[in-house]
Structure 1
């Protein structure tokens, strides 16, 4: 793929900036622009995992569609800048039970529905003719077998095998085919041609050229009021080629409508605010099935789309907002079980590989976030039996921390704080790297890690007390008290008027960078990093806050001045010399911007918790982050992005749909709904 720079990407044009995502509950998805087009490199009509939810493969980039009007074929593939009045009009209508596209072409009106059966391996595309006109419809799939993770093409040529209702496409005769079928008789014309698409990569701000294969064209005569449904799937599992084809497609369509109607009704009982209800409705996209060597058909939370896998930190931040307001307690326990079964040396996985490989454990805080999520679960469910069931395992995890058995970090016996002794890999959530270069080295003692550690101790003390475990209560309370004293004393920076971001071991400071493998200095001392980052907001915004009201107020006031934006909190103050306001550029530039300026919606949750304890003013929080609470359809409909540019107008970056963003905003809304907005 070759690219060239552009100053006016279609992703930033009014019609092209929105996206729509649908998923199948197994890691598969379709993502297109809100005018139906595939405009960006991550847009595709059919992405499926070959080993659900692993090894996702892009199969169908998009469909080329046209109707026969006034003696000519008229394409209704979207044009980024249509000007002529005769251009097709394409509207995305998020109304009724099923969001869909309404296409108007010179008096002909077609409604186009897309949906994925849950736990299936395919996509249905349904075209409904309006009752006033008849026409001929032509649909030509654009094929591009590509490994989603690496971007590597998986085929240079394709084998096309017709069958009774469509075609099977093979990139390799020994692999699973992509099957494209129709539920209505039509004419299948061989095409066997190629086309070059221009797709925009928002991260590099460059156009990318991609060749797609056009295997065949489906043509149908549609009378007024008739429909035709195409099914695109990885291998032919759910067949439509039988005598009840029409009935099968209609049944599946009606089942999907009933499923969405039931979800909408249930959520309306919890979330009266429509944008928040949409966020909750689409939050189900992140709940997927995963099979590992340790678990069979367990449930987990996917970190985000288009290409993220399930990750411990993101799952635990997202879970309370995605599952607890709707009392999906059984599902929450499945997610906890999935991660607890993979505990290794006291750590839950940082993330599961998108390949059949062992999980990655390079996270100092993912396990600590799990304690907070379990605490939220217990508060919502009052499930004492579950606490009894997992208590011993949670205690073993804490003991691994206390013994120093967890790889990458240790407990300081003098002050009770955790410190990272890993030089090669970052262990906190600010973990961006480009090669061996670390963009935000925060070794030694990071402020939010200490606050999470203190919360884990306090939470286990509360669990011990509830279950009558006197020894556990005494030990956890003792360790929590010692950690609290050190945290409150060592992390307050009088000169800055807020918290240190981390305490840095001077043995690893050398011209502001960390040298991998550098020997430890026994005479080193810890110095405070006064950089104004959002991590201090996390530290004061957890369920248990060790800092005084005055200190917490100072932190929140600094955040209001330097970090708060309408889309969340910046990761770094704009007046810092390392600040990056846009997430665009080379790999090193992207790594630098990720946690040196980018805005994260999930940080609204600790801010909301701390602000409400201080000021008890839900209206103020609502006004600060109004786009996140009111405009959940603007970018990826019903979802929030992983991050946004630090500079206005705060374009969405990273994953278009991010579980931690949705879950945190849903939980923040619940906190605000404890008060009147």
Structure 2
């Protein structure tokens, strides 16, 4: 028996909706499904169409093409044994075949990216094409659900699925006493539908077993479709959310090819593809676009941190923004994201999570506000859009004043040395934010090194901006020049104080100065982050020493470790249940987004020596591991650095785009 291929694929539609599964068609995660619809974009993601079980009858022989794990550890049927080839470009494509027949399945999720409507909604198109010496009969059994994408569905006598059959379509909706589910419909171009409701019990989801989570699901089948296929014939199916208020055009087989063409044209226009654009870069840019979505509650763009399970987060968005929107010259997108974050600035803080409709943002981040200033600076450098600076300068001042006067979580500048400090129990405000049993795994209270490096860069930006605005009409020149001098003086004080982080014994930076002034000497990548911002407070000889230590202890083929292996707290594999994984998350686990910071710092401090990083392993991962055509969130700290976490992560992809040469690939 062939080994099952556990690589995964991903389709998205610009709303936070997605379709995903494995190459071999076996569902291994709670999050696998063909229509996971974001009903309150990009939130309220709901599994509606899990998959379609296909069987093909040729010359009197019935061949089951599906592959399923069952609760008793049985794999049945074994359709993967007939899977001849899988391709990802331009859309996920499966080809099953034997000597006298071939069946191809392709799938696309048309892009929406705006407010859904009857004609422009969450939907997925599936096309089957048959080649054979004799006609065949294709039977397609629908496997459906109506449940939150984080949880499995279980058979329940109170859970019913209504269905209304019309010509070449069936309307479906889940019902339970006191609850009505999401209405949706399935349409097809040919075939006869047979109402045949039945529950399929006890699917097993082995990736959830590995993660120590609930790992069994029941799926409902309302019926099946029978299609008589002549050689060289195709069938197209559409699953679509909502019961449209008006009749839709009849579904045609040509609709699938048109959807593929429209998506290719959209991507070409979005990224201004040229004939010289390499295949490698095109694929990276397409991957980056999967994270850019529309958020209904703010009526604007946002960035999904990662698939399958993450929402949009402020810190992740701002770290990813330069690669997603500046390197790619999507300047309107960058501006829209910065505007939205600026509009939600409260207490001098930028939200770490956007609100769903009717909810309040969460401000549990110390770095998001400073990252906003840093990213604003990068945007202005790239675009020279000084009118936007005029518009947003008040937000810069709001952040500055809040950090100086003090704000939530006891975030405040220490008047004695000018450094930013914070101290609040039970929370984790930096990017190392894992919490187990109510306690941060890496608390990092006090004065974290990269936070103060960001603070220094923010003061440098603010000084130059005040100087520039003093020359603009409508601004009080003397006041702005005074502001510029004050920011400059504070930046000089912070630069001097940053030497408190220098650890001459290790030739590295202390990770934090804790509230009681103890110095944390763990070797973490935050020192590299501190070297990577637009303005750096550290001299060349220190920068080079820091980078040499990071190269020796943290650098891997996939990014930087979050802790040096010789540390007693180091954990080399991010496996096990949620608690074990959270305890390993920032204790040695490799984060690929950090390779961008390492490259920027190396280019600043070691110009005479090429960056000591070989792109090939990470690009091979992009093409052939985990989620084909994307980059994982994390990797084990120990070799062989197995990919873990989310299968597609925004800042991982963004930082590769930011630094990978357009001439390669």
The TM-score normalised by the length of structure 1 is 0.88
> What RMSD, in angstroms, separates the aligned Cα atoms of the two structures?
2.8
> In the alignment, which residue of structure 1 is the partner of 2:110?
117
Q: Does 1:49 align with 2:38?
A: yes
Deviation at 1:617, TM superposition (A): 6.9
Counterparts in 2 of 1:133 and 1:328: CA distance versus 1, 3 Å: farther
2:216 to 178, 200, 209: 209
Deviation at 1:350, TM superposition (A): 0.9
Q: Distance in 2 between matches of 1:85 and 1:658?
A: 30
Deviation at 1:323, TM superposition (A): 1.4
Q: Does 1:158 align with 2:160?
A: yes
Q: Does 1:31 align with 2:36?
A: no
Deviation at 1:14, TM superposition (A): 6.3
Counterparts in 2 of 1:89 and 1:251: CA distance versus 1, 3 Å: closer
Do 1:604 and 1:668's aligned partners in 2 also have CA atoms closer than 8 Å? no
> In the alignment, which residue of structure 1 is the partner of 2:473?
none
> In the alignment, which residue of structure 2 is the partner of 1:192?
198
Q: Does 1:613 align with 2:614?
A: no
3-state secondary structure, aligned to 2:491:
helix
Deviation at 1:594, TM superposition (A): 0.5
Matches within 5 A, 1:371-410: 371-410=373-412
Deviation at 1:591, TM superposition (A): 1.4
> In the alignment, which residue of structure 2 is the partner of 1:5?
none
Q: Distance in 1 between matches of 2:408 and 2:398?
A: 11
Q: Does 1:284 align with 2:289?
A: yes
> In the alignment, which residue of structure 1 is the partner of 2:560?
569
> In the alignment, which residue of structure 1 is the partner of 2:492?
481
Count of aligned pairs: 635
2:507 to 486, 497, 502: 497
Counterparts in 2 of 1:447 and 1:638: CA distance versus 1, 3 Å: same
Q: Distance in 2 between matches of 1:402 and 1:563?
A: 34
1:94 to 85, 88, 95: 88
Gaps of 5+ in 1: 1-9, 507-525
3-state secondary structure, aligned to 1:130:
strand
Matches within 5 A, 1:36-185: 36-78=25-67, 87-95=81-89, 97-119=90-112, 120-130=121-131, 133-149=134-150, 157-164=159-166, 165-172=168-175, 174-185=180-191
- CA offset digits 1:217-240 (Å, max 9, x no partner): 111112222221111233234988
Counterparts in 2 of 1:262 and 1:84: CA distance versus 1, 3 Å: closer
3-state secondary structure, aligned to 2:205:
strand
Do 1:205 and 1:585's aligned partners in 2 also have CA atoms closer than 8 Å? yes
Do 2:130 and 2:234's aligned partners in 1 also have CA atoms closer than 8 Å? yes
Q: Distance in 2 between matches of 1:438 and 1:622?
A: 32
Counterparts in 2 of 1:85 and 1:298: CA distance versus 1, 3 Å: closer
Q: Does 1:335 align with 2:337?
A: yes
Deviation at 1:552, TM superposition (A): 0.9
Q: Distance in 2 between matches of 1:554 and 1:68?
A: 67
Do 1:41 and 1:200's aligned partners in 2 also have CA atoms closer than 8 Å? no
- CA offset digits 1:197-246 (Å, max 9, x no partner): 1111265267822211122111111222222111123323498865x332
Deviation at 1:557, TM superposition (A): 0.8
Deviation at 1:660, TM superposition (A): 0.9
Q: Distance in 2 between matches of 1:558 and 1:326?
A: 32
Do 1:144 and 1:153's aligned partners in 2 also have CA atoms closer than 8 Å? no
Do 1:176 and 1:235's aligned partners in 2 also have CA atoms closer than 8 Å? yes
Deviation at 1:166, TM superposition (A): 3.1
Bigger mean CA deviation after superposition, 177-186 or 552-561: 177-186
Counterparts in 2 of 1:76 and 1:215: CA distance versus 1, 3 Å: same
Counterparts in 2 of 1:386 and 1:150: CA distance versus 1, 3 Å: same
> In the alignment, which residue of structure 1 is the partner of 2:474?
none
Q: Distance in 1 between matches of 2:649 and 2:556?
A: 18
Do 1:581 and 1:646's aligned partners in 2 also have CA atoms closer than 8 Å? yes
Matches within 5 A, 1:195-594: 195-201=201-207, 203-204=210-211, 208-237=215-244, 244-246=250-252, 250-251=254-255, 253-261=257-265, 263-264=267-268, 266=271, 268-269=273-274, 272-292=277-297, 295=298, 297-353=299-355, 356-468=358-470, 469-487=480-498, 489-506=499-516, 526-594=517-585
Gaps of 5+ in 2: 70-74, 113-120, 471-479
Q: Distance in 2 between matches of 1:275 and 1:260?
A: 15
- CA offset digits 1:299-339 (Å, max 9, x no partner): 11111111211111100111111112232111211111221
The TM-score normalised by the length of structure 2 is 0.89
Do 1:410 and 1:421's aligned partners in 2 also have CA atoms closer than 8 Å? no
